Amino acid sequence: MKKFGLTLLTAFVGGAMALGAYKVIENKYADNMSFEDKQKVYYATSNRLTPAPAVTGLSSAGSVDFTEAAAAVTPAVVYIRTTYSDQSDNDKQSKMQQMFGEMFGQRMRPSGPQMASGSGVIISPDGYIVTNNHVVEKAAKIDIVTNDHQTFQAKVIGTDPNTDLALIKIDGHNLPIVKLGNSDAVKVGEWVLAVGNPFKLTSTVTAGIVSAKGRGLNLIGSEDNGEDQNPFGRTQYQTQQPRLNKAIESFIQTDAAINPGNSGGALVNTNGELIGINSAIASHTGSYEGYGFAIPINLAKKVLDDIEKYGAVKRGYVGISFAELDQDKAKELKVNRTYGLYVSSVLPNSGAAQAGLQEGDIITKVEGNTVYESSDLQERVGRLAPGDKIKISALRGGDEKNFTITLKADAPAPKMAVTKSAEELYNKLGASFKTLSAAEKAKFRTHSGVMVAQVREGGVFDNAEIPIGSVITSVNKQPINSTDDIDKVLSNMNTSTVVFSGFYPDGSRLVLPFEVQ
């Protein structure tokens, strides 16, 4: 037997830890771009990012090299630390806060003030930041830590629980921002990056692909109708049909690693463009299992612009409630179509009623696009305002009919002024305000005042049952004509009691005293 000489080569395999530093790109590369005529310029302003070259024939993902995108985005993703005044605030959390807070907010429960954390994305050089509503909901104090370790206090400009979005602001200038992309151009299978602060690990970038689009989870704006355990071990609260489907869910699903603390962070394509705001995960454990969900940026654009201009979202409504069809629902309703939206009721005098849509119709197309599930309608409508028109096709009997529906307003959303100071105390109020018009001053027979534009759950105004449309004429006997005036009073108090005076919407006198703690 022939003998072979064997030489044993020993291979040494070692692990190396790489410490990365994110380079801040120079101001000279700043480039202003407008993505839509209706949007504010600052929403479309790219930060210190060289415009990505046009690539013919490829998706919006661009190349699969993540380094430039990561370097461009991380400077504009911030760490958000929220403080709640006492345990009672924690006990009064809404279902959204309970559901998302522990998943993403890293709620800690030591004695004393409760704290949580999350992420946000800077979208304007002067300090506007987008995050999730559930990240800042009911927070008495919001601290922002930027990627270069600067610390600011933020103020809530406005929130939209129906999309789980919030716009907050810090007093900054020349801040790095993330360029907004086009979530409609996103394709299933393309590469994406999630940037945020999971487990307090700041400026963390993870990669994955888009797993699905238009995903609805029945999480936003739902009521406690009894608890059903979903397949992922998290409780879902089913949406009631009488709500006329006001909650808007059309998530981008991704398998990029998203964990507690990522909520409110950025989902970007490889061009470094923001395509979504990370919002939820589906998990047995509450940590990453491959199912992350982000709010599409095209939906967020309209919401954020409205909040900045009006203090609340000016949302148009079709005026229907509907059921999403599948095989079981089709059998129950005795229809022969297994996809689309079955119109279960039409609100009288709504846009849908005026256009001729009827109970029993099956919505098949929106703006020429086939409707498979509720998000196909809800996201499209969510981008529109009262007075806008939307084209819908529906089956009635065996015929497909076309309807042009003019959206109606659910409630007025008056214009809001933006302020910069007295953040913590202002946030405790849980309200947004707009300046009074001459006609409104005449109606209330006052020479001064601001009108309550939004009341957020758990704040001083909510607890005192001060409704939207109330007028505040003075704070601590100081006349109020703008939110700047409120800030001045709150910033220069020499007493522990704040007294708001004014009128309820019906003209009766309003006096709201509360103690500053």
- Per-residue pLDDT tens over the stretch 27-68: 333 333 332 333 232 322 233 333 434 333 445 555 567 899
Per-residue pLDDT at 198 exceeds 90: no
Whether the CB-CB separation of 292 and 312 falls below 8 Å is answered with no
CATH label of the domain that carries residue 217: 2.40.10.120
CATH label of the domain that carries residue 392: 2.30.42.10
Per-residue pLDDT at 312 exceeds 90: no
What integer pLDDT is reported at residue 47 of this predicted model? 37
Specify whether 331 is located in the same domain as 301.
no
What integer pLDDT is reported at residue 268 of this predicted model? 95
Instruction: Note whether residue 59 is domain-resident.
Output: yes
Q: Which two tokens stand for residue 280?
A: 């939820």
Instruction: Note whether residue 2 is domain-resident.
Output: no
Residue that is last in its domain, among 354, 385, 409: 409
For residues 102 and 83, which has the higher predicted lDDT (pLDDT)? Answer: 83
Specify whether 303 is located in the same domain as 359.
no
Interval 471-492: pLDDT, tens: 999 998 889 988 788 878 887 7
Q: How many CA atoms lie within 13 A of 125 on its CB side?
A: 13
Whether the CB-CB separation of 175 and 127 falls below 8 Å is answered with yes
What residues have CB less than 8 Å from 511, skipping those under 6 apart? 499, 500, 501
Residues 514, 430: Cα–Cα separation, whole Å: 13
Phi/psi of residue 472, each to 5°?
Answer: -100, 115
- Which residues on adjacent β-strands are paired with residue 394? 363, 401
Q: How many CA atoms lie within 13 A of 394 on its CB side?
A: 22
Per-residue pLDDT at 21 exceeds 70: no
Q: Average pLDDT, stretch 328-353?
A: 89
Residue that is last in its domain, among 257, 287, 310: 310
For residues 232 and 504, which has the higher predicted lDDT (pLDDT)? Answer: 504
Query: Distance of CA 281 to CAs 64, 184, 204, 258, 501, Å?
Result: 24, 22, 17, 7, 44
Interval 204-259: pLDDT, tens: 999 999 998 887 766 554 433 322 222 222 222 222 223 344 567 788 999 998 88
Specify whether 402 is located in the same domain as 449.
no
Interval 423-469: pLDDT, tens: 777 788 888 888 888 888 888 889 889 999 899 888 889 888 899 99
Range of the domain at 480: 423-515
Tally the domains of the chain: 3
Instruction: Note whether residue 417 is domain-resident.
Output: no
Residues 126, 458: Cα–Cα separation, whole Å: 29
Residues 186, 228: Cα–Cα separation, whole Å: 32
What residues have CB less than 8 Å from 22, skipping those under 6 apart? 70, 71, 74, 75, 147, 203
Whether the CB-CB separation of 253 and 292 falls below 8 Å is answered with yes
Instruction: Note whether residue 11 is domain-resident.
Output: no
Specify whether 261 is located in the same domain as 189.
yes
Specify whether 298 is located in the same domain as 324.
no
Mean pLDDT check: name the lowest of 76-80, 92-96, 269-273. Answer: 92-96
Instruction: Note whether residue 9 is domain-resident.
Output: no
Q: Give catalytic residue positions.
A: 134, 164, 263
Question: Mapping DSSP to helix (H, G, I), strand (E, B) and coil, where does residue 240 land?
Answer: coil
Q: Which two tokens stand for residue 98?
A: 């309970």
Specify whether 468 is located in the same domain as 427.
yes
Specify whether 123 is located in the same domain as 243.
yes
Pick from 142, 206, 203: which is nearest to 176 by CA?
A: 203
Pick from 297, 312, 287, 222: which is nearest to 265 by CA?
A: 297
Specify whether 268 is located in the same domain as 373.
no
Residue that is last in its domain, among 361, 386, 409: 409
Per-residue pLDDT at 96 exceeds 50: no
Q: Average pLDDT, stretch 152-156?
A: 93
Confidence band for 202, pLDDT divided at 50, 70 and 90: confident
**Sheet of 141-145, strand order:** 151-153, 141-145, 77-84, 114-122, 128-132, 165-169, 155-160
Specify whether 271 is located in the same domain as 327.
no
Residues 61, 55: Cα–Cα separation, whole Å: 10
For residues 102 and 193, which has the higher predicted lDDT (pLDDT)? Answer: 193
Mean pLDDT check: name the lowest of 110-114, 229-233, 332-336, 406-410. Answer: 229-233
Q: Tokens 């807070």: give the residue.
A: 101
- Residue type present at position 119: S
Residues 363, 371: Cα–Cα separation, whole Å: 7
Instruction: Note whether residue 1 is domain-resident.
Output: no
Q: Tokens 């044993």: give the residue.
A: 8
Instruction: Note whether residue 505 is domain-resident.
Output: yes
Specify whether 401 is located in the same domain as 428.
no
